Amino acid sequence: MSDHIPSVVVRAEALAPVYTEAAAKWAARLGLPLEGEADFALQLGDDGLQLTDLGPQAPGPVRVDFVEGAVAHRRLFGGGTGQMIAKAVGVQPGVRPYVLDATAGLGRDAFVLASLGCQTAMIERQPLIAALLEDGLSRAKDDEDVGPIVRQMRLLVGNAIELMQAWEGEAPQVIYLDPMFPHRDKSALVKKEMRLFRPLVGDDLDAPALLEAALALATHRVVVKRPRKAPIIAGAKPSYALDGKSSRYDIYPKKALKA
């Protein structure tokens, strides 16, 4: 996500007195004030951590929930290994690649891949979004059904290009990128999140460098999710693409994934 971000003020707050101390810890960790005028609030309450736009006509809070809601519905009824993202990263009988989602966001795509049996690492650059993701993973660990899935997910916080260039340990077989471009996804959920996050993260002006770093690190393939009619990212050309209704997956193979 871009470093050219308009300045917005975010404060941390507890939604009930019992969360005051924990909210203060998040504030200290993220360098947020606990009071005063702000554009956004990072709030801690019964449902965990959430980010709220404090402006008029705000879309409502966003939080990460792997146990209930849209993510749970997709896990149960989303089509399993028949989903386009599964095909794009190379999930097939006997093959569950180790995937790095270098633009994790709220972790939905990484969670889908983990629920299909892939070990997944995630990188999120925006500290507030990473905090929501960390909180969602932490709450999901205790769930009987979802706990084993999120234990396959590892979160790294920082600049994805730098982290990929300095990668240590086993290299991911597949790197998945979903840069923050002006998405045309019409779903209410995505529109709400885009409205909330765009002031915080901007667009990905460094997508070509992100792709280059991913191609250098991935052992087997890189997959880039794009709005369906958007141009490819500048740089290396994908070998083929999988087209969906609103988005497509550009595939950059390096070598075949085998069982």
β-pair partners for 174: 99, 221
User: What Cα–Cα distance (Å) separates residue 68 from each residue in 81, 151, 213, 224?
Assistant: 21, 17, 35, 27
The answer on whether 108 is annotated among ligand-binding residues is yes
163-to-29, 167, 195 alpha-carbon distances in Å:
21, 6, 27
Furthest C-alpha separation in the chain? 56
Length, in residues, of the chain = 259
Residues paired with 49 in a beta bridge: 44
Pairwise CA distance, residues 106 & 117, whole Å: 19
3 is in an annotated binding site: no
Q: Is 143 annotated as a binding residue?
A: no
Is 134 annotated in a binding site? The answer is no
Dist. CA 216–CA 56, nearest whole Å? 45
Q: Which single residue is written with the structure tokens 């005051």?
A: 20
Q: Which residues pair with 247 in a beta bridge?
A: 227
CB 51 within 8 A of CB 19: no
Cβ–Cβ contacts within 10 Å for residue 117, how many? Answer: 14
13 is annotated as contributing to ligand binding: no
Assess contact for 216 and 198: CB atoms under 8 A: no
Annotated binding site: 108-109, 124-125, 178
Annotated binding residues for S-adenosyl-L-methionine, written as ranges, equal: 108-109, 124-125, 178
